[in-house]
Structure 1
Amino acid sequence: MARSTGVRAVSLCAAALLAVAVQTTAVPAVGRPDRGCAVGGQSTDDRARKVLDIVRQARRELDLKAVLVRVTVDGRELVTDAAGESMDGVPATPAMHFRAGSVAFAQLGTVLLQLVDEGRVGLDAPVSRWFPDLPHGDEITLRMLGDSTSGLHDYVIDPAFVKKFYAAPFRHWTPSELLTFPLGHSLWYAPGTDWSYSHANFVLLAEALEKITGTPMDRLLRERVLDPLGLSETSNSFTPEIPRPVLHAYDAERGTYEESTFWNPSWTTAPGAVLTTDICDLARSAQGIGSGELLSRHSYRVQLDPGTPGLGAPTAGCPATVCLKQTEAFHFGVGVIVKNGWVLQNPSFAGFAAVQAYQPDERLAIAVSTTVGPKAPGGNTAQTITNRIAAALAPDHPLDLAVG
């Protein structure tokens, strides 16, 4: 949930998505010196210096507790950096792990399209095949779950869910508990006729993928995405645990600035896809997903454009920050956001914010993770930094993600 609005207003990754003395010295990575995810000597590359300047200025300007960043070009490191503190007196390092949130949605979309490539399922198969009791299951397809055009409400903006979450942020949520909220409402619109961001789509998609393959989700992602991309520091957890070293998070969603690191993330998506990662894996994920490395050319094109740009118009009763008309410059693909040619995801919840973004023409990957201080602005602060890095390194491809 975004720091200032949280689920109360829209949030998590959704609102930022749709509204389409500071520590500056390099510190060594802790715990994994052999992985290469560490700050090395200061680069003489002017582009690297620009990134470092952007990070340090943004940290001061936005009152950020910590900023982790990695930029690669054609898979080669341009810069990896960490600024600020994880906790008071504990410097942030690139090796620290943080919650990946909606990055899992891009991976779920990739697995779906892999199964289509293999002829094991059709994108337009009705989900009633796997969920015979789901209302409108004959009308909702796998494609609609993946590109978020099912019409299902997003439980994270449901006042009933919000109240329960804030009353008990350490509570574990099951998929059936989460789905009671959207299924308690009528659809926002007829399936396939409009677009709206909804976490319910990906809870259902994950369960469908497990049923199609007969494979538990954590193993499915490991075998089909994490291992092929070499994401050794990305993993699912069935508990709120985060592998050490940990990037701690803080938030003021409940009215007071407090540590939120171990709030239970079970509500963010389906079991087996609740991921933690580090900044090096996030950059590699940006490159692998953004370039279509794991898909056929056809499925990669479908992931970036499932046929929804320009679809529909804001729907009566659907919040303007959730149901918006898509355009060629901004739309939602199959588990990914596409903005001015960039392929990205932008998780933001419980004090954690991040962006993984890839520009295929430039072969440029940007990964940013932020945590906030008590005076930080609302929204996904990692997007502000990503926007500035994109403008500096790829001026012909502005990103301009809205951050309010």
Structure 2
Amino acid sequence: MTQACPRLRRGVVTATAAGILVVPLAGGTATAGPPVRPGAVTATPSPGLSPTGVRRLTPDVTRQIDQAVLRVMRQAGVPGVTVGLWTPDQGQHVKSFGVADRSTGRKMSPELYMRIGSETKTFTVTALLRLVDRHKVGLDDPVGKYVAGVPNGDRITLRQLAGMRSGLFDYTTDAGFRKALSSDPRRAFTPRQLLSHAFKHPVLFPPGRRFDYSNTNLILLGLVVEKAGGWPLADYLRNRVLRPAGLDQTFFPAGAQFPRPHAQGYTNQTANGEVRDAADWNPSWAWAAGAMVSNLDDLRVWARTVATGVLPDGTRLISPASQKQRLTTLPTSIPGAGYGLGIFEVRGWIGHNGSLPGYESLTVYLPSARTTLVVLLNSDTDHKGTEPSTLLGEAVTKIVTPGHVFDLPARAAAR
């Protein structure tokens, strides 16, 4: 019997999703796209690259984008997709495809709320860095200073948690957790319950030894934010991150709360493998690692903010020093990708992906071209081992930024 497969870990930009992407800069970026995988989407070559390597969004180019998106949707069986692409000099393109609700035929549209899975990690780590800037915590503090009972808690630093180098077991891969979630996906979990599934396993390696994407790390950072910030995580995010950034359509929900209008989300991560609508499933199991809700407009703003630390009005959300720490990346097990503090860098694109039952997302920013890409879809079903959000990101960037093709092999992130 197939069990539900929580896939926050694959979100290496929300990344697993509950996954993207995504991004450390110190590791360097590629100047050319990766080899085309068998069956991957290819784009018709088009002239007219700008000096920054972005193709002008002419009617012909946007037509190519639309055709590529529809091709991926057919191949991967995705019901609905919204794509937003913004460049300062080459134009913008925002369009929805397919349906938000299979039962009614309601169309997908840009204003719909979506679950964003592991993109939540970028918000949780931003909250942590805000506390660093206020001298409430230090990145090299041991997590045991704030949370009791953590294996190696006197040695694992907050930096190692945010950079996925703690060595702690990922609770989402624990058989007991999977059974509990698949048997009742609407049940509520507490952070301590999630940690209990992780802490019954031995640590995988000494702190700092290597990269290993683990949602356990972000659950701990959420508790650190609560301890040092003095508020519940949802309140701290709202008051110290979302409001300053002007993100009034982004939420850390209480339980299964889901603002309307939202898209229904379709998943085969069920006990028997049947496709189900997961819109009312409770994302508390993902908490600080993947429970948040947002929409296209807010994610467009967030893409640049999280990649630069700068708000739309030119003021800073994060100090230059903390932003530099965020974007200092170390090697990962994922070809072509680096990971900083709760963020990926893939072929020059910075951000995160997300994957939660029924939903996937990708929010990335290309600093060299000041270009933003946001992809939102209402399915998390892989196509030949690759997440559909990655296929869509690859399809669009092959056309628009052929020197920076977003290619994130999801399975490479898994143990």
- Structure 1 and Structure 2 fold alike (TM over 0.5): yes
Deviation, 1:100, is 1.3
Partner Cα distance (1:202, 1:218) in 2: 14
Select the residue among 303, 306, 312 that pairs with 1:289. Answer: 306
Query: What does 1:209-288 align with in structure 2 at a 5 Å threshold?
Result: 209-254=225-270, 255-270=273-288, 274-288=291-305
2:326 corresponds to which residue?
A: 303
SS in 1 for 2:288: coil
Partner Cα distance (1:378, 1:190) in 2: 30
Pair 1:177 & 2:193 matched: yes
Asked whether the 8 Å contact 1:75–1:287 carries over to 2, the reply is no
**Inter-CA distance 137–403: structure 2 relative to 1 (3 Å threshold):** closer
Partner Cα distance (1:186, 1:111) in 2: 29
SS in 2 for 1:346: strand
1:158 corresponds to which residue?
A: 174
Deviation, 1:219, is 2.1
SS in 2 for 1:186: coil
Pair 1:341 & 2:348 matched: yes
Cα deviation, 1:261-302, whole Å, max 9, x if unaligned, reads 11111011239x731111222222212112222222232221
Tell me which moved more, 59-68 or 147-156. Answer: 59-68
Partner Cα distance (1:238, 1:344) in 2: 25
Pair 1:364 & 2:378 matched: no
2:401 corresponds to which residue?
A: 394
Cα deviation, 1:16-68, whole Å, max 9, x if unaligned, reads 779x9xxxxxxxxxxxxxxxxxxxxxx85544333323222222232210011
Task: Give TM-score, length-normalised by structure 1.
Answer: 0.82
Partner Cα distance (2:69, 2:176) in 1: 38
Partner Cα distance (1:10, 1:143) in 2: 18
Pair 1:64 & 2:71 matched: no
Asked whether the 8 Å contact 1:340–1:397 carries over to 2, the reply is yes
SS in 2 for 1:388: helix
**Inter-CA distance 239–17: structure 2 relative to 1 (3 Å threshold):** closer
Cα deviation, 1:308-334, whole Å, max 9, x if unaligned, reads 33xxxxxxxxxxxxxx6467x412210
Partner Cα distance (1:395, 1:299) in 2: 31
Asked whether the 8 Å contact 1:100–1:347 carries over to 2, the reply is yes
Asked whether the 8 Å contact 1:17–1:402 carries over to 2, the reply is no
SS in 2 for 1:365: strand
Asked whether the 8 Å contact 2:375–2:392 carries over to 1, the reply is yes
How many residue pairs align between the two structures? 362
Higher relative contact order (CA 8 A, sep 6+): 2
SS in 2 for 1:233: coil
Pair 1:146 & 2:162 matched: yes
Tell me which moved more, 3-12 or 107-116. Answer: 3-12
1:125 corresponds to which residue?
A: 141
SS in 1 for 2:213: coil
Give identity over the alignment, percent. Answer: 30
Deviation, 1:78, is 0.6
Partner Cα distance (1:90, 1:207) in 2: 39
Partner Cα distance (1:368, 1:335) in 2: 19
Partner Cα distance (2:162, 2:380) in 1: 34
Matching residue's letter, 1:67: V
Asked whether the 8 Å contact 1:153–1:200 carries over to 2, the reply is yes
Deviation, 1:151, is 0.8
1:39 corresponds to which residue?
A: none
Pair 1:48 & 2:71 matched: no
Deviation, 1:403, is 4.6
Please report the RMSD computed on the Cα atoms of aligned residues, expressed in angstroms.
2.8
SS in 2 for 1:170: coil
Q: Which runs of 5+ in 2 are unaligned?
A: 22-33, 35-56, 311-316
Partner Cα distance (1:148, 1:262) in 2: 30
**Inter-CA distance 402–196: structure 2 relative to 1 (3 Å threshold):** same
Asked whether the 8 Å contact 2:79–2:100 carries over to 1, the reply is yes
Q: Which runs of 5+ in 1 are unaligned?
A: 21-42, 310-323
Cα deviation, 1:157-209, whole Å, max 9, x if unaligned, reads 11111111111111101011100111001110011111211111111101101
Asked whether the 8 Å contact 1:5–1:11 carries over to 2, the reply is no
Deviation, 1:87, is 1.3
1:6 corresponds to which residue?
A: 5
Partner Cα distance (1:5, 1:165) in 2: 7
**Inter-CA distance 212–81: structure 2 relative to 1 (3 Å threshold):** same
Task: Give TM-score, length-normalised by structure 2.
Answer: 0.80
